[in-house]
Chains A and B, each alone.
Chain A
Amino acid sequence: MFDKEKLSHIKEVRQKWEDGVLAKTLNKAPESKEEFKSVSGALVNRLYTPEDVENIDYESEIGYPGQYPFTRGYQPTMYRGRPWTMRMYAGFATAEESNERYKYLVSQGSTGLSVAFDLPTQIGYDSDHSLAQGEVGKVGVAIDSLRDMEILFDGIPLDKVSTSMTINAPAAVLLAMYIAVAEKQGVSPDKLRGTIQNDILKEYIARGTYIFPTEPSMRLITNIFEYCSKHVPKWNTISISGYHIREAGSTAAQEVGFTLADGIAYVEAAIKAGLDVDTFAPRLSFFFNSHNDLFEEVAKFRAARRLWAKIMKNRFKAKDEKSMMLKFHTQTAGCTLTAQQPDNNIIRVAMQALAAVLGGTQSLHTNSRDEALALPTTDSVTIALRTQQIIANETGVANTVDPLAGSYFIEAKTKEIEVKAMEYITKIDELGGAARAIDLGYIQKEISDSAYQYQMEIESLERIVVGVNKYQVEEDAPKGLLRVDPIVAEMQKEKINEVKAKRNNLAVEEKLDLLKKACEGTENVMPFILDAVKEYASLGEICGVMREVFGEYEQAVLI
Chain B
Amino acid sequence: MEAILQFIYVNAEAIFIVILSIFLGIEVISHVPAVLHTPLMSGANAIHGVVIIGAIIVLGHAETTLNIILGFLAVLLGTLNVVGGFVVTDRMLEMFKKRPKK
Q: Bound pair: A and B?
A: no
